Amino acid sequence: MTTHDEDFDEFAAAAWPRLRRSAYLLTGDHHLAEDLAQTALARTYASWRRVRRSDALAYARKVLVNANIDRLRRRRLSEFGGPGADGLIDGWPTGTAGPEIADERDEIVRLLAGLTERERRVVVLRHYFDLSEAEVARELRIAPGTVKSALSRGLRKLRVTADAATFVQEGLR
């Protein structure tokens, strides 16, 4: 194995969990998430000589987001669906343990599923990857004002939906 391949293998092993979680947040489906993450790594490998080591994750993330956009453009009816069967996001940072983690992760995915594709992409890039509004705009090739409005609408929907879910849960007790 060459140094080129060893470098990529090291990168791929480190980047895989985050790419897969990101893809799951974008799609709400574990199988599609794995496909997208694999596609992102395959395309990153094809360009590995051009990818600067310090920017490798950013490059792979951009490939992942673009692959998801391409998938949506050619989406078939068979690809429609809600969140994955178990609704978990492995490794999502949280302060709780046990069943509470699964509940929180499931709720996050359900909440994101209520957003439009653009809102979901903007929220995930802005808050999961912690990119600035300008970086999100550059990555999605949209105007910064579009990022701000999509983020505002998305967060408002998330708040309303989360508040409604809390109200229903408290009413059931």
What span, in angstroms and rounded, lies between the C-alpha atoms of 123 and 135? 13
List, for residues 71-114, the tens digit of each pLDDT value.
877 764 344 444 433 333 444 444 445 566 556 667 788 888 88
Task: Specify whether domain 1-78 bears CATH 1.10.1740.
Answer: yes
What span, in angstroms and rounded, lies between the C-alpha atoms of 156 and 99? 27
**pTM for this one?**
0.62
List, for residues 25-75, the tens digit of each pLDDT value.
988 889 999 999 999 999 999 999 888 766 899 999 999 999 988 887 776
Residue 84: predicted pLDDT: 39
Of 1 and 43, the structure prediction assigns the larger pLDDT to: 43
Of 108 and 125, the structure prediction assigns the larger pLDDT to: 125
CA dihedral 123, 128, 134, 135 (to 10 degrees): -130
What span, in angstroms and rounded, lies between the C-alpha atoms of 26 and 35? 12
- Number of C-beta neighbours around residue 44 at 10 A: 24
The domain spans of the chain are: 1-78, 96-173
Q: Is 89 exposed, middle or buried (0-12, 13-18, 19+ CB in 10 A)?
A: buried
Residue 88: predicted pLDDT: 37
Give the model's confidence band at 127: pLDDT under 50 very low, under 70 low, under 90 confident, else very high: confident
Of 3 and 102, the structure prediction assigns the larger pLDDT to: 3
The dotted CATH code for 96-173 is 1.10.10.10
Alpha-helical regions (H) of the chain: 3-27, 30-46, 56-73, 99-113, 117-123, 133-140, 144-172
